[in-house]
Chains A and B, each alone.
Chain A
Amino acid sequence: MENRILHSVTGLFHSADEITQAAKEVNKAGYKKFDIHTPYPVHGLEKAMKLKRSTLGYIAFILSAIGAISAILLMWWTMSVSYPLNISGKPFFSLPAFVPIMFELAVLTASVVGVVLMLTIFFRFPNHSHPLHDTEYMKAVSSDKYGMVIESDDPQFDIDKAKSFLSSIGATDIGEVYWDNNELTAKKTIFDKKFIFGLVGLAIIVSGGTYWLLNKAMFKEPFNWMMYQQKLSAQSPTTFFKDGFSMREPVEGTVARGYMPYPYPADSAVLAEKYLVNPLEPTVANLNAGKAKFNTFCSPCHDYHGTGQSRLNGQFPNPPSLQSDRVRNWKDGHIFHIITMGQNTMPSYAKTVNETERWQIVLYVRALERAMNAKLEDLK
């Protein structure tokens, strides 16, 4: 106990007036390393102690400016550089709409960082090892007394002088506060084994937990229900309906948009020939469109010129030539009917080429027929 190091001498006062007077006296006596402890902020005391005005105001201003600027940089970069989205045709950098978030982040940064700076830099908190803690002195000033300490590292400190000074300005309960030797000798290093292991353990738990949460847990029941909900997948049956289909048959007599019902049965080409008339003129546009469709859908079997010389190498029986007199004597309606309903081995092409395209093909077939049997006057 002998070689404990003195921290300070302490004295108590009993009213705000007394402590204010004492603060002036201690300054007059030339002490620098002194402090005053009061259970609540006493007005005017910081002036009596000759403390400098707190700089936290300027710090808060700088922090709020940093918050606002970072907010606008973030919004500018995300909204107009990284992923520009056209929202109602508004500019990518629309300042008025950014103001609310600039304000919020300015307030957030200044308040949170300001308080953290005050606690850690200005107060050096958390600090539970200060010698004043758990002393009778601290218990008094945290409740209803006003205390003054004169610290031993003051240049003009002398234990007896300091004590007699305190009693001369009206302090009672004058006492001494010593450092705790264990605290003083304890090595404070951030490379403490416990600390490092704790930190590493925390890092492993946090990163492992985050990984598990985001990459595993989110894909387990019930979080994955949306992924495995009932839905239609290509080439597989669904459970929506008993028949395994997800689409329903249309109501009987339904007519698809753009398709007129075709009134003539497959075996009544004569009727079609009688009543159907090609509505199109043999213009260049119609003929070109007809040529394109003919080459795509008809030429594999009928040949580019309609001769019936199939390109299918005998895998399919060759169709009759379109250049025969029989076909040339048909009216347009007959050819249209065969494209629509099919004939013999030829299937219906009604779903592949629409009505207009069929008539265009008919025009083109007519042009082919005329080209293969050209007369002299055609050369004009």
Chain B
Amino acid sequence: MSTTELTYEPSVIAGKPSLKQIDESIIKPMNEVPNKKFFIAISFTSTLLLIGAVALGFTFYRGIGLWGNNNPVGWAFDIVNFVFWVGIGHAGTLISAILFLFRQKWRTGIARFAEGMTIFAVMTAALFPAIHTGRPWLDGYLFPYPNQHTMWVNFTSPLLWDVFAVSTYFTVSFVFWYVGLIPDFATMRDRLKVNSTADKIKKKIYGFLSLGWRFSNRHWAHYEMMYLILAGFATPLVLSVHTIVSFDFAVSILPGWHATIFPPYFVAGAVFSGFAMVQNALIIIRKVFDLEYIITLDTLEKMNKIMLLTGTMVGYAYSMEFFIAWYSGHEAESFTFLNRAMGPYAWAYWIMISCNVLSPQFFWFKKLRRSIPFMFVISIFVNIGMWFERFVIVVTSLSRDFLPSSWDYYVPTLTDICILLGSFGLFFTLLLLFTRTMPVVSIAEVKAAIDGSQPTHHSIGHGEDH
């Protein structure tokens, strides 16, 4: 590397805040009594959560017969919601790990929040495989452990790969998130002015969570290496997770599921929906917590570009499915796709197409890409569309398979819908609590990314060492 050509991209943080200002504005939400808006928001989300909890309670008491799935649609809302929520999580890992490896500095403002979303989304997603067994207290059998039956799990089943993929994904995301939080907890520990017993307890908690971090550069050197390794592991991991989720379908022989395009198609869809969800949440967060100069409009615009890209990839996958259905010359396959577009679930299919393929196309125009209300609406549409994508894949294929005598029309029950609402309640309640208890933006990373925070190349003297 030559010495003089070393240039930095323009700052990702608007203005030139001092390091203290960054501390202040990120820590502020944790040190003051939440305002009315927060209480309105959390009472709304916890009401949704309560609705879901009641529906779940009925499910456990009466059994999963309360759900709408039955022959021939044996998989319905449970797996639709599972895939939807796991997909939401993928944006977080993409932002925190893949963009880190690509040295995309604009990720710093949103990485922590997106990682938090990953964890909560995977928690919400993991709920569905856990409850669909009907007797979730026996879910321990999903893991291979020496039990009194001397029986083991079937390691060749994609459903078991799912157990491993999702639990690994959750654990690694959590570790990644926590490693990022350690220096921030230490900053919060030291910034806290102890005036009351509550502050003392707070300080104890932050101190405990920081593990005694001292900002030593002898530590930072290992820390940065570990962060790089974690990012390097998380990148193939996130691709593997949705690939394995898609294997749940692709490894079966049902028309509409048995396709090699599924893994990349699912990964693109996951990133697509995840970015939309991150976008929705960030627009609210930056407004409510005055973080507009850290989560800048430029960052949001870049996210819109990724949504445009992944949305177009998903659109390509939809058309390629149709092409292969025709090209394969397989009658059941062709029928399945015609049935999707024109059969009894055509309404769901066209919701999916218009939300996923058409709506992101507006982002070709710079003006629309930079309009916050517009991108907020589009992001909501994308989330709706991506939920319907999973619904279309799962339900249309199952409701009309090879044998016309067993065809049936699936309708979700009230319990199904309440549990879906509850999953949104769980996710957003956790997210709201997160914004009040932990720094939603990585303090150390933002400090490292602002103008003037890194040495100019003269003082480092790259020429000497390389």
Binding site for B on A (CB under 8 A): 15-17, 20-21, 35-49, 51, 53-54, 56-57, 60, 64, 74-75, 78-79, 82-83, 85, 87, 90, 94, 97-98, 100-101, 103-105, 107-108, 110-112, 114-115, 118-119, 122-123, 125-130, 132-133, 138-139, 141-144, 218, 222-223, 226
Contacts and interface: CB of A to CB of B under 8 A. Distances in A.
B240 A104 contact: yes
Contacts of B208: 126, 128
Interface string B209-235: 001111111111111111001100110
Contacts of A60: 226, 229, 233
A22 to B, nearest CB: 10
Contacts of B448: 40-42
Contacts of A46: 217, 220-221
Given A16-B453, A40-B453, A85-B154, A126 B211 contact: yes
Given A46-B220, A108-B172, A126-B212, A101 B179 contact: no
A-B residue pairs, 4 tightest by C-beta: A144-B19, A44-B460, A78-B152, A54-B225
Contacts of A142: 186-187, 189-191, 215
Given A108-B172, A112-B171, A41 B186 contact: no
B23 A144 contact: yes
Contacts of B456: 17
Contacts of B60: 222
Contacts of A38: 215, 217, 220
Given A42-B455, A54-B226, A123-B219, 11 more contacts: A43-B454, A54-B221, A79-B156, A83-B151, A94-B156, A104-B164, A123-B211, A126-B208, A130-B212, A141-B215, A218-B137
A53 to B, nearest CB: 8
B214 A138 contact: yes
Interface centre among B191, B224, B459 (most CB of A within 10 A): B459
Interface in B167-216: 168, 171-172, 175-176, 179, 183, 186-187, 189-191, 207-208, 211-216
Contacts of B137: 218, 223
B155 A48 contact: no
A48 B225 contact: no
A35 B215 CA distance: 10
A141 B190 CA distance: 9
A107 B236 contact: yes
Nearest to B150: A83
Nearest to A96: B156
16 contacts: A17-B459, A41-B444, A42-B217, A44-B460, A46-B217, A49-B217, A60-B233, A74-B144, A78-B153, A82-B150, A98-B156, A101-B155, A133-B212, A138-B190, A142-B190, A226-B135
Contacts of B236: 103, 107
B445 interface: yes
A39 B447 contact: yes
A104 B215 contact: no
A105 B168 contact: yes
Contacts of B80: none
A35 B207 CA distance: 21
A325 to B, nearest CB: 64
Interface residues of B, number: 73
A144 B187 CA distance: 10
B222 A122 contact: yes
A75 B172 contact: no
A78 B207 contact: no
Contacts of A110: 229, 233
A100 B226 contact: no
B190 A51 contact: no
Given A143-B190, A226-B135, A78 B144 contact: yes
Contact of B155 (A54, A78, A144): A78
B154 A87 contact: yes
Contact of A79 (B18, B152, B226, B462): B152
Given A37-B216, A49-B217, A142-B215, A111 B455 contact: no
Contacts of B326: none
B155 A128 contact: no
Interface in B437-466: 443-445, 447-448, 452-456, 459-460, 462, 465
A45 to B, nearest CB: 5
Given A107-B172, A142-B187, A144-B20, A37 B155 contact: no
Contact of A115 (B150, B175, B214, B234): B175
Nearest to B456: A17
Contact of A118 (B161, B223, B244, B445): B223
B165 interface: yes
A10 to B, nearest CB: 12
B364 interface: no
Contact of B444 (A40, A44, A115): A40
Contacts of A222: 60-61
A92 to B, nearest CB: 10
Interface centre among A40, A87, A90 (most CB of B within 10 A): A40
B275 to A, nearest CB: 23
A47 to B, nearest CB: 6
Nearest to B179: A115
B190 A139 contact: yes
Given A40-B453, A41-B448, A142-B187, A47 B156 contact: no
A50 B240 CA distance: 39
A75 B453 CA distance: 50
Interface centre among B19, B168, B237 (most CB of A within 10 A): B168
A74 B222 CA distance: 32
A35 B217 contact: yes
A75 B223 CA distance: 34
A37 B445 contact: no
A110 B231 CA distance: 12
Contact of A90 (B156, B212, B244): B156
Contacts of A54: 221-222, 224-226
A355 B373 CA distance: 85
Interface string B337-350: 00000000000000
A108 B191 contact: no
A110 B229 CA distance: 9
Contacts of A83: 150-152
A35 B187 contact: no
A101 B161 contact: yes
A360 B200 CA distance: 97
B321 to A, nearest CB: 24
Contacts of A119: 211
Contact of A37 (B165, B191, B214, B240): B214
Contacts of A98: 155-156
A356 B221 CA distance: 90
A44 B23 contact: no
Contacts of B207: 128
Nearest to B450: A40
A114 B228 CA distance: 12
Contacts of A126: 208, 211-212
